[in-house]
Amino acid sequence: MSVDQDTNQRNDDGYLSMHNGWFASGWPSYLPQHQSMALTMLFGTAMVRGLRGTVDEVLEQVFKGEYGAFFGHASASLDSPVRWSDGDEEDYAETEQEKAEIRADLAEHQARCEKLIRGAGLPVPSTIRELADTMVSLGIVSQQDGAWFMPDPIPGPETVLPLSDDERARIAERRRFWEGGPAEEALIEYLVEGLNEPQEVFTSVDRLAKATELSEDDVRHALGQMFREGEARFERGAERAQILLEDLKDHERFHLVLDWEHFNEHRITITRG
């Protein structure tokens, strides 16, 4: 399993661990979003630390009875009802009509997801504990000899739920956004950690390959992905004309222009511990 460590959630034993493939899997769109993510962090932490036991026992080992608002609000426990929404969606509505439309959309989404779960031959979870059982039944997590395990990649909703072709296409598109791959991760880490998010870099493909310890082909793949996401563009010449990546030779210097505002608005990054 591939996990990163989320520095936004901490306890006495250190960081909580999050499976790298959770958002790319597509499951956040078909399960109670916050609570399924919390359980994913709990299972990921159990695997990284080698914790064994039931969900209750792992929760106690991780938090020692003080898990606060881990499941969404301070009084929530494994036996609390599942919540298909965060509960604050209506705060953004300006009129009663908008609030009613939000409530209707949320109810429709919940009904659709529950129907899909039943269509897969599974009971709809009513508590967080039952949600954990559902995640086991869906193949998101499993227990082997008392130890918890999450596969990599996580099998997506399209492998279990009776989805339409349009839904499958949306999952594939979403996955393309989240799964940047190791080459893109290495390039972004170099630009963020090594160069402190520069507005532009005068460089070349082979220089970036040397700095990131990647091949030239991998650097081109990563640059191409950043270009497609609207995060980078390539310029050359005294008048700084934009140029296509495929028109650049590996040794040719160019200006790599970066849009960090766009990057930070459209990506969620989890810092390694």
Domain boundaries along the sequence of the chain: 3-167, 181-266
Q: Could you give the CA distance from residue 235 to residue 244 in angstroms, rounded to a whole number?
A: 8
**CA proximity to 127, closest of 83, 190, 62:** 83
Q: 130: how many CB neighbours lie within 10 A of its CB? A: 16
Q: Is 216 exposed, middle or buried (0-12, 13-18, 19+ CB in 10 A)?
A: middle
**The pLDDT value given to residue 99:** 85
For all residues of the chain together, what is the average pLDDT?
A: 86
Token pair recorded at residue 62: 């991780």
Contact 267, 236 (CB under 8 A): no
The model's pTM: 0.67
Token pair recorded at residue 228: 């497609």
Q: Could you give the CA distance from residue 206 to residue 210 in angstroms, rounded to a whole number?
A: 6
Q: Which fold has domain 181-266?
A: Arc Repressor Mutant, subunit A (1.10.10)
- pLDDT tens digits, one per residue of 36-75: 999 999 999 999 999 999 999 999 999 988 887 888 877 7
Token pair recorded at residue 75: 């009084």
pLDDT above 60 for 109: yes
**The pLDDT value given to residue 266:** 65
pLDDT above 90 covers a percentage of the chain that reads 58
**CA proximity to 84, closest of 123, 104, 113:** 113
